[in-house]
Amino acid sequence: MSQSLAQIYVHLIFSTKNRKPYLTPEIQSELWPYLAKVLENLDCNAKAIGGVADHVHVLCSLSKNLSVAELVEEIKKPTSRWLKTKSPTLRDFRWQSGYAAFSVSQSGMARVREYIAAQAEHHRRHPFQDELRAFLKKHMVNFDEQYLWD
C-alpha cells in the first residue's frame, strides 16, 4: 500500500491539577472552541468536547501522525498557557499529569457524544473518581488506585 490511512477515534479524559474547579461555565464557553481549534491544528477532528469544573472529556479522531501520549501533550500545553492568560485566578492553572484514553468504534460515537454532552447532569449524581473507576473497569484497564488521585 503506497499510502497510510487511519480512522481511529479516541475518548480522552483528563483533569485539572488536584481537581481544582477552575473550569467555570464562562471559561468552558471559551475553552471548548479553543480546544477544538488546537485539535484541528493537530489533524485530529473534534467530535465532542465537554466536561465540568474539574475535568474534560474529548472525543476526537487521532491523526495517523500522533500517538495518544503526543496528542494529550499537544492538547495540554497550549490550553494551559492559554488558560493562564484568561484571568488572574487562573495564573497558577495546571492540568493533572495523567490522562485516560479509550478507543471508540464508529458505532459507539453517538453514545459517547451524548455522554459528553450530559456531563453537568451526570456529575450531579456521580463524582469524577467513581466515573473514572467505572471507565477503567469497563475497559478492563489495570490501575493502581493510589496513582489515580495524585
| 45 phi and psi angles, rounded to 5 deg | -75, 120
- At 54, is the pLDDT very low, low, confident or very high (cuts 50, 70, 90)? very high
Could you report the per-residue pLDDT of 59-69, keeping only the tens digit for each?
999 999 999 99
- Residue 58: the pLDDT is 98
Q: What is the pLDDT of residue 104?
A: 96
Q: Is the pLDDT of residue 10 over 60?
A: yes
33-70 as b/e: b if 16+ CB within 10 A: ebbbebbeebebebbbbbbbbbbbbbbbbbbeebeeee
Q: What is the pTM assigned to this prediction?
A: 0.88
C-alpha–C-alpha distance, residues 4 and 78, integer Å: 28
Residue 146 has a pLDDT of 65
pLDDT of 127:
74
